[in-house]
Structure formats: C-alpha cells, structure tokens
C-alpha cells in the first residue's frame, strides 16, 4: 500500500501582502457610508477628529464632549477647576468670555464659599448642522438649581472645538 502525501499549498505573495497605510484607509473609506470632508469650512479646516466614524459614533463623541465641557465650565465657575484647562476645547473668544465670567464669580465666591455639588444631566440634544458642525443643548443641574447650556462644536485640525457657548 502506497501512502501519498498531499502536495503543499502554494500561495502567491500577493495573498498575504501587508497593505500600506494609505491603501488601508482608502479601502476603509470606500466601505463606510459616511463621507470624508475634503472641503475646508470658513472657520475651521473641516478635518473631523475621526474621519472614518459613522454618524452614530460621531454623535456619541459630541454627546460626551458637550457633557465634559458643561461640567468643566461649571467647575471653573465654582472655583473647583482652573479655567485654563478649558483653553484647548474653546475658541479664543469663547475662552475669554468664560475666563471673564470666572473672574467675576471668583470675587463673589470669596465672600461666601460654597461646597461642591455633583451635577446631574437631565437632557442632551444634538443636531448635525453641516459636515463637521454640531449644535448641542444640555440641561443639567445640582440639588438647588437647573441650568441649560447651548454649544456649537466645529471640527478644526482633527479636534472638536467649541466656537459658541451660552450658559443659562
């Protein structure tokens, strides 16, 4: 009885070739339903933080960022956080307004300091205005007061930046 061994499988080199990064991202872009921004906006360069994210993933990012910004702003106003920590998230004009408001409230807080109170987020609404531009409305509060914050976030140099902030 003769035993025959099967011939070894011969594969071409292209089957296991590693793809270069440029090829990989172009393949991924063609397979995702979202569009990649190529046109610059007037104020930002329009480069989203994750150009390959789906709309749902992008909305989750915006929701998280808007909560963080609202909480950090309230902590800065309460004197619990240095306002300079908000600088990387806010445009220069918005940062200047927040800093001025923090300085005004800091003078009042020295007269009657308050204990920090945890924030509870009641409602968060986001809407995509244009490619790389989102507007958010956040309702939050502590045990004594309910407040609202409206934000406009735009993509700028692959980061989300707050270009408008209204705190009520």
> Residue 65 and residue 34: Cα distance in Å, rounded?
21
Candidates 47, 69, 73, 91; CA nearest to 136 is: 69
What is the value of pTM for the model shown?
A: 0.65
By CB neighbour count within 10 A (0-12 exposed, 13-18 middle, 19+ buried), where does 148 fall? middle
What does the pLDDT read at residue 143? 80
Cα dihedral value 31, 32, 33, 35, nearest 10 = -110
pLDDT above 80 for 2: no
pLDDT in tens, 63-110: 999 999 999 998 888 888 899 999 999 999 999 999 999 988 877 666
3 state SS of 145: coil
Provide the pLDDT confidence category of residue 32 given band limits of 50, 70 and 90: very low
Q: Does domain 55-167 have CATH number 3.90.1150.10?
A: no
């Amino acid at each position: 009885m003769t035993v025959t061994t099967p011939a070894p499988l011969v594969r071409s080199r292209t089957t296991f070739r590693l793809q270069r990064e440029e090829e990989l991202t172009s393949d991924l872009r063609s397979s995702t339903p979202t569009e990649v921004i190529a046109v610059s906006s007037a104020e930002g360069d329009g480069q989203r933080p994750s150009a390959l994210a789906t709309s749902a993933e992008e909305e989750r990012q915006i929701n998280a960022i808007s909560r963080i910004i609202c909480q950090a702003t309230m902590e800065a106003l309460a004197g619990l956080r240095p306002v300079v920590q908000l600088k990387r998230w806010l445009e220069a004009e918005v940062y200047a307004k927040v800093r001025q408001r923090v300085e005004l409230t800091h003078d009042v807080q020295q007269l009657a300091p308050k204990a920090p109170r945890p924030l509870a987020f009641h409602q968060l609404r986001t809407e995509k205005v244009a490619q790389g531009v989102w507007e958010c409305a956040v309702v939050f509060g502590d045990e004594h007061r309910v407040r609202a914050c409206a934000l406009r976030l735009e993509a700028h140099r692959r980061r989300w930046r707050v270009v408008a902030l209204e705190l009520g």
